[in-house]
Structure 1
Amino acid sequence: MLSWRDRPVAIAVSLATLTLGSLAAMPAADAGTNAAARPRVTHDARSVTLRVPASAGAPGYSVKVATDSLSITTTRGGHTVLATAGGTTGGLRFRADGAWQRATKVTGWSWKNGVLRLDAATTRDGVTAEALITPKSDRYALSWDVKGGGADRLGLAFDLRSAGHWYGHGETATPGGGPYTDQPWPLDAGNVHDDAFGPASYEVVDPFWYTSSATGLLVDTGEVMDVAINDANDGLGRFTVDSGGTYNATVFVEANPFEVYRDHTGVVGRPAKSDATYRQFAEPLWNSWAQFYTNVDQAKLLDYAQRLHDNGIPGHTIQLDDRWESNYGNLTFDTRTFPDARAMSDRIHAMGYDFGIWVTLWINLDSTNYRYAADHGYLLKDKADPTRPCTVSWWNGTAGIVDLADPEAKAWYVGNLKKLMSTYRVDGFKFDTRFFDDSCAPDEGYGRADYQRLGAQLADQFDLQGAGIRVHWSGSQQTGFVIRQVDKGTGWESLAAAVSQNLAISTIGYPFVETDMVGGSLGQPAPAKEVLIRWAQASSLMPLMYSSTSPAGTNDTTTGKPVSYDRETIDRYRDAVRAHGRLAPYIWDQVKHSVATGDPIMRPLFFDFPRDAAAYTVKDEWMLGPAVLAAPKLSSGATRDVFLPTGRWFDVNRGRVVRGPTTLRGYRVPLDVTPAFVDVRAAGAAKAIGALRRTGVAPGAR
């Protein structure tokens, strides 16, 4: 099998441009493949089977279609790796007149010009389904639609167990508190259901899922989806598009999950650059949100910065979050709470920090700028009445949204931002909220996903200071932005969710990830000492650190009272930040590698060790690049078990080499220890050991 470095990273035709006609015209196999290696179709009384032979860089696979039910089973090496749902659910399902229907018996099929065409009856009288399967060496396109039925939703449903464990998706909506305090890993270990999964979602999601059996599903749509994975423990994955048009998807079939990820990256694109600088990877961003929420003023922010500075806790930026404006959307300082914002900025700069502020495109109805923007037509229009601006409710009131598809509106908004920069020495921005809402009407010629692109183009003009931006959907991977998570709580369950969520976001194509602010937020009581320290330690072994709650003292939003931490909290937090800084040269190497290849920096163990079965369910460890295995403590107590995959691992805390695969039972983790191990044979091992090594012997010792 070819290594990934030898495989092409660009796909000549993107999913977005594929039509049924172009699919039918595609060749039966990749260019240059001889006739003997091309796909072939066989059939018997019960099935039609499409076989794609193994080739250089691809393992080969078969797609078997049961003709009595139009069920699709994908196999590799004689083993099932993905199968559609059976029974009354059905694999190809649609909604018509409010009732769910499904494709049933295959009534005809043909194999022509490299396309397997299937015609089928359905459970709705007078309605038929047509499906097209177009194979390539490591994937097949699956398109299907409904004929004559007035369908308003089409979907695919799979038997989750047929493919092993499921991953991908991004931030999950779950009955257990997701995406804020719950993120199942793997996805099938929990209950996921998001009926507003789409480009306008506030959650960072993408229509891509992959499995432990090394298959993947990429749905090509700009519409809202209803996605359910093991909802109510039903064992199903249901991927429904809120449209009656043709359902277009790609199913990847590879030798291991990492190759599926790389195939997906080849379609949606890899980062064109890193938006964050070396310093922003090396030091934390300090944002005021969890420290003060909206109860912030000039004196408080300066004291916050000064205490961090005086305690020697590194950071590259002090970023002022929500509630600095005279009113939301005015983009002017409230002089009652910030009487001299320029002097405040100058003092922050004098301490060695950059200065940043939080902004949004949502303009509240009671702000001065709202009337101006509405009068000039700068706001998105209402879907029901395009003569009026669209109004949306959010956590700070009712607002209109700047229409980024209108060049004049965008220029006006950018002008306001640049005025802030020049007047107050603002170095960058944290963009919050969404660029579009489904209650609004997009401009003519634009769709939901286009507003993600327009928002990314806007943000790309400014330094995002490591706070990144919540941009997503297929193609957004190319922007190279840091992606910050949705708010987390302040307890252990949120720290665990933050780790799993980083793995989910990173492996749908966004390698520059960070958790929510260290210690969490979400309006909950201030984090306990141990949670704050362990969160900082975990973040020190991630690509970036995003901080807010100060170990030198914070505030409890639920009581309005100050919270003091002891000297050990300050020391342990500072130790974590400094360890991250020492590791920065290794992390920066991974950043450059991600820009060149699209590979994730923070990734699950099974990406690098696909043959270690135990790796597929480990949710409290990860690889940071090819050399560093992070196993920080994510719960209370002073011990944890650590799984080490196949290889030779240098324990940076104990100075010994451990051979894997093995599980270290009851590994001791007092509050000054962050478990981490280095694969001594991996690229970058020496640099990582030099950064993280605490004590002990040479890496080759026994």
Structure 2
Amino acid sequence: MSRILCLCVWLMATLSQIAQASSFNLVEQQDSVEINTDNYLMTIDKAGFRYAFAKPDGSVWLGKHADSGLIFLNSSVVTTELLEQDKQQVVFKVTNELGIEARVTVTPSSHYLKMAIALQDEGELQGSILARTAGLSPAYGLGDHAARRKSQSTEVSGYSSRHFGALTDGKPSRLTSNFVIFPSQKLALVSVEPDKKIVKVTRDELAQGVEYGASIPALYYFFGEPEQIYADFKTVRDQEGYKVYAPKYEWFGVGWEAWGALAWDTNEQTIRHNVDQYLQLGFPLDWMVVGSGFWPKKDPTFLSTTSFGLWDKTLYPNPEQMIEYFHNKGLKLILGLRIAFIPNGPFTQEGLDKGYFIKKDGKARLFRVSFPKPESYFLDANNPAAVDWYIELCKKWLSSGVDGFKEDLFGYEIEGLPDNKLDPVNAKLMEMGAYVMGRNGYLGSPMDLHRFEDFNYDQNQDRGPINGLAFAYSGFPYVYPDIVAGKGLHNMEFGEFSGQQLRTYFIRNARYASMNPSMSFGYGVWNLNDQHTTDMVRDAALDHHRLQPFIYSAAIRTYRTGFPYTMTPLPLAFPDDAKVHGRENNRVRGYQWLINDTLLAYPLYGDDYASSNSRDLYLPAGKWIDYDDGTLYQGPKLLKNFAIPLEKTPLFVGGSGVVVEQQDNALVGRLYATGFTGKVPFFGKDGVTQSVIDIKHPVGKSVTVTDTHTQQQVEVTRVRHAYQFRFIAGHNYVVE
């Protein structure tokens, strides 16, 4: 990079940081301190460091805690002293009831505020530290934990844990986020801390902190509309080292996973047979995963996905030819990958010799893990040299043509493991251009897809949509809802499950998955011996494939803005509409979301999938057009017992009314009469090419569309209740 270019990059980054900073006024009185910005006011009572936030008009945004705003070493703060201030921050000294002191640094920015709390003698003192205010609701977020609660709902009010992390109250979490948002109150918060955390979202208090440590390094409060909050949340994640990466196009198409079809028993012939069967039936596959069973099986030292570059020569005699075979069919081939190294494995001794595994008392320790079965050493992802070594091992796969990895550590003992135990590895792989399906992570997004925990037919089916929506709230919006029909059908691993219930399950699960950012198949639908089921499941796959460019454009908008356009829960899209709250649960089953602020998805899914054929659907304000039959509805409106047969595409079109689809290997723009005027962005499959559709007047009985690249009007026809025209990525269009 040239010196001039480096200087320009540095200058742009510096200007960006300055823009984020906010000028503020500080007023100290005898009993309180006020920090006033253009967008919020922070008031701190010196007694107890009780703090609150108010809006510019003076109304309360977030109230003070009844006792004290800070508590550390199980003792409440009682006194506060203003130490210093400059243009960027304000520093206080606080003292608790035990006489122990801490330093609190408050850094205001335009629409958010950072607090850092550090015990004065960090070398000697450690314990719990908690920052707290009055309570607030309704609340959303908390990643995997939202779906693991007894109350099956995306609403997390009432949640409380003193050891929030990869395992909380006995419930597992692999994609962990302690980000909590209150859309109707226009507020959010997160304490950026990869170790065990304290999280309370109760009627009495809203609190976050550390279970055991010497500081809360970075507690953030965000203020504004959801779009503003998520933009600032992305900025904070990037600044704090939990970077959000741009995802890749193919992942947002239809995939296939060997786990659902074959479990551990994979080989080159069975994989070819299954994938080819799906292709021959007209399923549009873009990617495939072989997660297990490809390593040398007869030697127990290879029983792992860390047998880098080594295949079972009997089961996979020609791996590079196999990879080329699937590449020629247009599929990306992904392998399972873990950071667990079994003792005596092919690369384990090298890792031990170089000190690349997590240690306890100075020695590499063994962790219990569901797979591999032997206790295993875990890569120390906080050691850059260890990560570099691991990436070089990964290149043994990549150099043979493998496109990327399904990161798949599960069932692990969590003692001594931070929540970001895999993030540095996945970040390196993303920077190399590898395709990454992520299953573990903290706060950031060093992955293309966010895959939630295995989702099988023996489980409560409400967990799926709740899990996906919770991910979207939490900053993990590239939701992949696991394999359609899950794992276990090939041998009825979870009990007998057949007949009409199985066929209905397969179809409903496929319809639900098709409305997610990504979807995949495993178990062969042909095994059901039912043409109607095959047709319905293929129809769901084709729905998703047709919308793939539109969904991916939403993913790039998400990457650029932080807002979850790939799956936008209605409380984020319509925060001031009280009727969108309280619906995402196993009572109402109002599992609805927006895709790219135009399509409203409403798949009939949940534990009643086999017995229900209708839902109460809520349409927010605006015009909504049925995707299948073109019926127009005017919101706000509750559609009672709205029929959703197995054959129905569960979509309404609203918002801008602009949808870009792929048909016969070409793109088409589709314009619906929703009354919208304005500009709509679209991003091409490279994630960079951008188009803008400028709707000058609401779409009516006729439209003209001009390609501003050629300055020519393009042909427009009426197709499926919308005006349709040939769309070229990178060209801009004016609609009149």
Provide TM-score, normalisation by structure 1: 0.77
Q: 1:153 to 1:53 in 2, by over 3 A?
A: closer
Instruction: Confirm or deny: 8 A CA contact 1:356 1:430 kept in the other structure.
Output: yes
Conserved? CA contact 2:468–2:479, under 8 Å? yes
Q: Which of residues 589, 594, 603 in structure 2 aligns to 1:632?
A: 603
Q: Does 1:578 align with 2:578?
A: no
Amino acid at match of 1:647: G
1:208 equivalent to 2:179? Answer yes
**AA at the equivalent of 1:393:** R
User: In structure 2, the residue corresponding to 1:543 is in which secondary structure?
Assistant: coil
State how far apart, in whole Å, the 2-side matches of 1:663 and 1:490 are. Answer: 31
Hey, what's the Cα distance between the residues in 1 that align with 2:438 and 2:582?
Answer: 29
In structure 1, the residue matched to 2:619 is: 644
Alignment of 1:136-535 (within 5 A): 136-147=109-120, 150-161=125-136, 164-172=137-145, 176=149, 184-188=153-157, 194-196=163-165, 203-212=174-183, 213-230=185-202, 236-269=205-238, 274-277=246-249, 279-281=250-252, 283-326=253-296, 327-328=303-304, 329-331=306-308, 332-335=310-313, 337-338=315-316, 341=319, 344-345=322-323, 348=326, 353-374=331-352, 376-377=353-354, 379-386=356-363, 389-396=364-371, 397=373, 398-403=375-380, 413-414=390-391, 416-420=393-397, 425-433=401-409, 449=420, 452-458=423-429, 460-461=431-432, 463-464=434-435, 468-470=437-439, 472-474=441-443, 476-477=444-445, 479=446, 481-490=448-457, 493-494=460-461, 496-521=462-487, 524=494, 528-535=502-509
2:63 maps to which residue? Answer: 83
Q: How does 1:48-63 map to 2 (within 5 A)?
A: 48=32, 50=34, 52=36, 54=38, 60-63=39-42
- Judged with a 3 Å threshold, the aligned counterparts in structure 2 of structure 1 residues 513 and 192 are, in CA distance, closer, same or farther, namely farther
CA drift at 1:135: 3.2
CA distance in 2, matches of 1:534, 1:694: 30
1:167 offset after TM fit, Å?
A: 2.1
In structure 1, give the amino acid aligned to 2:132: A
SS in 2 for 1:659: strand
Deviation per CA, 1:664-695: give whole Å up to 9, x if none.
Answer: 111100111132111153554894668xx999
Does 2:656 correspond to 1:681? yes
Distance in 2 (alpha carbons) for counterparts of 1:102 and 1:459? 44
Offset at residue 132 of structure 1 (A): 3.9
Alignment of 1:95-134 (within 5 A): 95=73, 100-104=74-78, 106=79, 108-109=81-82, 112-113=85-86, 118-124=92-98, 126-134=99-107
- Could you say which residue in structure 2 is the equivalent of 1:74? 53
Of structures 1 and 2, the one with the larger relative CO (CA 8 A, separation 6+) is: 1
In 2: Cα distance, 1:435 partner to 1:415 partner: 26
CA RMSD of aligned residues (A): 4.1
Structure 2: runs of 5 or more not aligned: 1-10, 297-302, 585-590, 661-667, 673-716, 725-736
Q: Counterpart amino acid of 2:125?
A: G
Q: Relative to structure 2, which stretch is displaced further, 67-76 or 110-119? A: 110-119
1:536–1:414 distance in 2 versus 1, CA, 3 Å: same
- For residue 22 of structure 2, the aligned residue among 17, 27, 30 is 30
What one-letter code is carried by the residue in structure 1 that aligns with 2:377? G
| Paired letter, 1:276 | K
Tell me if structure 1 keeps the 8 A contact 2:255–2:521. yes
Question: Alignment partner of 2:236: what SS?
Answer: helix
Deviations, residues 232-253 of structure 1 (Å, cap 9, x unaligned)? xx75444221444232444435
What secondary structure is seen at the aligned counterpart in 1 of 2:260? Answer: helix
| Deviation of 1:9 (Å) | 11
Q: Which whole-Å deviations, capped at 9, do the CAs of 1:246-271 have from their partners, x for residues lacking one?
A: 32444435332222111111222397
Report what 1:665 is aligned to.
Answer: 640
Return the alpha-carbon distance in structure 2 between the equivalents of residues 11 and 684 of structure 1: 37
Partner Cα distance (2:139, 2:279) in 1: 44
* Paired position in structure 2 for 1:606: 571
> Equivalent residue for 2:27?
41
Shift, 1:380, TM fit: 0.8
Name the CA distance, whole Å, in 1 between partners of 2:337 and 2:20: 51
Q: Distance in 2 between matches of 1:546 and 1:9?
A: 41
Counterpart secondary structure, 2:145: coil
Q: Give the distance between the partners of 1:612 and 1:658, measured in 2 at CA.
A: 18
> Aligned residue for 1:21?
none
User: Residue 160 of structure 1 aligns to a residue in which SS?
Assistant: coil
Which among 502, 517, 520 is matched to residue 546 of structure 1?
A: 520
Note the C-alpha offset of 1:429: 2.6
* Corresponding residue number in structure 2 for 1:444: none
CA–CA separation in structure 2 for the residues paired with 1:193 and 1:576? 43
TM-score in terms of structure 2 length:
0.74
Tell me if structure 1 keeps the 8 A contact 2:340–2:378: yes
Question: Residues 668 and 84 of structure 1: is their aligned pair in 2 closer, same or farther, counting only changes over 3 Å?
Answer: same
Alignment match, 1:35: none
CA spacing shift, 1:242–1:582, aligned 2, 3 Å: same
Report the alpha carbon displacement of residue 462 of structure 1 after superposing the two structures with TM. 5.4
Equivalent residue for 1:567, pick from 526, 531, 535: 531
2:627–2:649: 8 Å Cα contact kept in structure 1?
no
Distance in 2, matches of 1:128 and 1:184, equals 40
1:342–1:432 CA distance, 2 compared to 1 (3 A): same
Secondary structure of the residue aligned to 1:274 is: coil
Question: Partners of 1:70 and 1:688 in 2: how far apart?
Answer: 56
1:694, 1:436 → 2: CA distance?
55
Q: Secondary structure at the match of 1:186?
A: coil
Which residue type is aligned with residue 30 of structure 1? S
Once structures 1 and 2 are overlaid, which stretch shifts more, 627-636 or 78-87? 78-87
Residue deviations 1:163-190, cap 9 Å, x none? Answer: x22223322177647xxxx863122266
Equivalenced residue count is 623
- In structure 1, how many angstroms separate the alpha carbons of the residues matched to 2:21 and 2:95? 29
1:497 deviation in Å? Answer: 2.8
Q: SS at 2:457's partner residue?
A: coil
SS at match of 2:465: helix
Rounded Cα–Cα distance in structure 2 between residues aligned with 1:414 and 1:405: 14
Q: 1:696 to 1:403 in 2, by over 3 A?
A: closer
CA contact (8 A) 1:309 1:351 kept: no
Cα distance in 2 for residues equivalent to 1:647 and 1:662? 10
Structure-2 change in CA distance of 1:337 and 1:127 (3 Å): same
